[in-house]
């Protein structure tokens, strides 16, 4: 049974449709990458899943539960995590305070301490820096902090929007390696990523989105060798 199931999803803003009849599944422990040119609707897809797009139709279920009408704060409780494209750390708060913001729905101190222990083990780059202001972290470290904060609610599915954008190559590798670890721990991950080659290397499956429609879907390894994908999205030349 699929963890996430999207059926016939249409979404847009006002009178401007962006997504057209999206059908997609994500399994537990699977990374599905969504690739495509700017303006294809990739970020809109994640926002629509998190009920941040005003005009929608279709169906969305998580572990068989209809989550279509749930507001964002209830989606968190239902097991859906979302890390947006724009940095969302609180720069004037410390690392510890930022993490605490991710646990605002947790009332039991013992549960908080246990989840903090787990998150700390997963993100050694943040360990021992509790009092450091988040605004002084590098872009890659801020992205790790955002992902770590999201994990406090133990999401079954994590939506990641362009996690590598603006990062140095070393941090891109670290962030995407973290994505792979999340899947190995059993979470499903729907990854929107502009770095197509890096996305396909970390993903199990991938979809190509063009003008709001999924036009190609396959195992990520197969798409790495697809000449059309290489030519359109990796800048590779067509062989003679």
pLDDT of residue 235: 60
Higher per-residue pLDDT: 88 or 205: 205
Q: Is residue 239 scored above 50 in pLDDT?
A: no
Q: Which domains does the chain have, with CATH numbers?
A: 4-88+159-233 (3.40.50.300)
Q: Are 145 and 137 in contact (CB under 8 A)?
A: yes
Neighbours of 21 (CB within 10 A): 13
pLDDT of residue 41: 95
Q: CA–CA separation, 163 vs 180, rounded Å?
A: 13
pLDDT in tens, 41-64: 999 999 999 999 998 999 999 999
68 is written with which tokens? 């279509």
Q: Is residue 103 scored above 70 in pLDDT?
A: yes
Nearest-10 Cα torsion for 115, 116, 120, 126 = 140
Nearest to residue 206, comparing CAs of 17, 42, 11? 42
Nearest to residue 92, comparing CAs of 143, 137, 125? 137
The H or E element spanning position 119 is helix 109-122
Nearest to residue 17, comparing CAs of 69, 57, 61? 57
pLDDT in tens, 149-179: 999 999 999 999 999 988 988 899 999 999 9
Using pLDDT thresholds of 50, 70 and 90, give the confidence band for residue 225: confident
List C-alpha distances in Å: 233 to 45, 188, 198: 19, 24, 12
Using pLDDT thresholds of 50, 70 and 90, give the confidence band for residue 236: low
């Amino acid at each position: 049974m699929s963890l996430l199931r999207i059926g016939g999803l249409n979404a847009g803003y006002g009178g401007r449709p962006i997504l057209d009849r999206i059908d997609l599944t994500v399994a537990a422990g699977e990374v599905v990458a969504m690739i495509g040119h700017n303006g294809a609707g990739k970020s809109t897809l994640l926002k629509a899943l998190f009920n941040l797009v005003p005009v929608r139709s279709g169906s969305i279920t998580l572990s068989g539960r209809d989550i279509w009408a749930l507001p964002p704060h209830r989606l968190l409780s239902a097991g859906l995590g979302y890390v947006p494209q724009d940095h969302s750390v609180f720069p004037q708060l410390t690392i510890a305070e930022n993490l605490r913001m991710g646990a605002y729905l947790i009332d039991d101190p013992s549960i908080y301490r246990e989840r903090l222990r787990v998150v700390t083990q997963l993100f050694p780059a943040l360990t021992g820096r509790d009092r450091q202001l988040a605004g002084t972290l590098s872009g890659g470290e801020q992205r790790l902090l955002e992902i770590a904060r999201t994990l406090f609610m133990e999401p079954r599915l994590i939506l990641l929007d362009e996690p590598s954008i603006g990062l140095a190559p070393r941090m891109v590798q670290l962030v995407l390696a973290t994505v792979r670890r999340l899947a190995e721990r059993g979470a499903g991950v729907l990854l929107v990523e502009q770095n197509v080659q890096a996305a396909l290397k970390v993903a199990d499956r991938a979809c190509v989105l063009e003008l709001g429609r999924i036009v190609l879907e396959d195992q990520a390894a197969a798409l790495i060798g697809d000449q059309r994908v290489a030519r359109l999205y990796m800048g590779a030349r067509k062989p003679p």
